[in-house]
């Protein structure tokens, strides 16, 4: 039998040609990885590397509960130690699927759909599990929207989210729709805490990477019809459709939590940042200037309250 490929640890395919199976799985665009009953990763395909940024050499032999992918749900709950689909599948022998956000090697969050399937031996005993994961459709749609925005010069050159001009147009449109049809929306004004210290300690090039990381994390939170824009400097805006005042705090807290749980790996270690958020919904008599000013003022209340918090 041939030696196992570099993508896997010995012993996973005792009755099959590991090289042949590896070649097949490396031509699959989805991420595919196997774990044994101890949750040791014993195989990692090229699709996993493409989606997560982690190559097989840095992953095979480690344990998935070491938080390599850092799976969290849409509420920011960490799943690697509580709610892991792989663990649940191995425990009861049933398949699992879930929509989660994984932690890319570059620090940002990637929305994916995962599917966990138990692996059994000839006696029917569970000897491990396989998980597949792929980018959600919303990410593809976001890329298409980004291309459209780029064509009309509405993209921020660094972060590739909407620029201030596009943000102003979007807020004006949503406000007009609210006045005519009462279609609900919310405006979040988001500022990265202590960003000047990041630039001073790590340099502006790393600061730019942090801005991009935060922008991509916000894109991972956003739904298809939501809008993310860079207002300027370290400030971002998020326009959330279909959200009224009672649901506003939940949305803003999800944004805050996911940014807090993201990080950028550098030669000096991992950089983590937090954000202060001001959030509001439209009020009678609002103009684009007044709703922006109100969200901005509430963001500064969050700064004054100690940062890394939300004011609604």
Residue 37 to residue 90: CA distance in whole angstroms = 7
- Non-local CB neighbours of 192 within 8 Å, separated by 6+ positions: 198, 210, 211, 214, 234, 235, 273, 274, 275
Nearest-CA neighbor of 48 among 112, 97, 119, 141? 112
Taking CA atoms, 93 is separated from 30, 96, 161, 185, 286, in Å, by 23, 10, 42, 43, 56
Residue 85 to residue 123: CA distance in whole angstroms = 23
Residue 217 to residue 5: CA distance in whole angstroms = 34
H-state helical runs in 182-230? 195-202, 204-221
Residue 131 to residue 34: CA distance in whole angstroms = 6
187: left (phi over 0), alpha (psi -120 to 50) or beta: beta
Residue 15 to residue 190: CA distance in whole angstroms = 54
Residue 41 to residue 102: CA distance in whole angstroms = 16
What is the DSSP pairing of strand 109-120 with strand 96-103? antiparallel
The total of other beta-carbon atoms located within 10 Å of residue 233's CB is 11
Residue 234 falls in the annotated catalytic set: yes
From the candidates 49, 94, 234, 289, give the one annotated as an active-site residue.
234
The total of other beta-carbon atoms located within 10 Å of residue 300's CB is 14
H-state helical runs in the chain? 18-25, 46-52, 56-59, 85-92, 137-151, 164-181, 195-202, 204-221, 245-260, 288-304
Q: Which residues are the active-site residues?
A: 234
């Amino acid at each position: 039998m041939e030696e196992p490929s570099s993508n896997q640890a010995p012993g996973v395919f005792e009755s099959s040609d590991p090289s042949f199976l590896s070649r097949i799985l490396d031509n699959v665009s989805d991420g595919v990885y196997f774990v044994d009953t101890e949750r040791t990763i014993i195989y990692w395909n090229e699709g996993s590397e493409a989606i997560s940024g982690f190559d097989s050499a840095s992953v095979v032999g480690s344990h998935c509960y070491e938080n390599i992918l850092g799976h969290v749900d849409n509420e920011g709950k960490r799943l690697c130690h509580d709610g892991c689909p792989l663990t649940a599948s191995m425990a009861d022998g049933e398949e699992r699927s879930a929509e989660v956000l994984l932690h890319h090697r570059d620090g940002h969050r990637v929305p994916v759909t995962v599917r966990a399937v138990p692996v059994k031996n000839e006696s029917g005993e569970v000897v491990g599990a396989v998980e597949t994961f792929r980018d959600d459709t919303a990410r593809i749609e976001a890329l298409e929207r980004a291309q459209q925005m780029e064509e009309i010069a509405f993209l921020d050159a660094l972060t590739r989210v909407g620029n201030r001009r596009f943000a102003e147009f979007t807020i004006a449109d949503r406000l007009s729709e609210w006045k005519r049809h009462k279609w609900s929306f919310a405006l979040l004004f988001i500022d990265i805490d202590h960003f000047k210290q990041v630039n001073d300690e790590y340099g502006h090039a790393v600061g730019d990477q942090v801005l991009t990381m935060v922008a991509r994390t916000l894109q991972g939170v956003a739904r298809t019809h939501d809008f993310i824009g860079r207002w300027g400097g370290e400030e971002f805006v998020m326009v959330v459709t279909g959200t009224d005042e009672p649901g506003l705090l939940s949305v803003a807290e999800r944004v805050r939590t996911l940014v807090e749980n993201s990080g950028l790996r550098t030669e000096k270690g991992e950089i983590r940042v937090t954000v202060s958020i001001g959030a509001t919904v439209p009020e009678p008599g609002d103009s684009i200037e007044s709703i922006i000013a109100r969200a901005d003022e509430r963001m500064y209340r969050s700064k004054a309250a100690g940062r890394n918090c939300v004011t609604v």
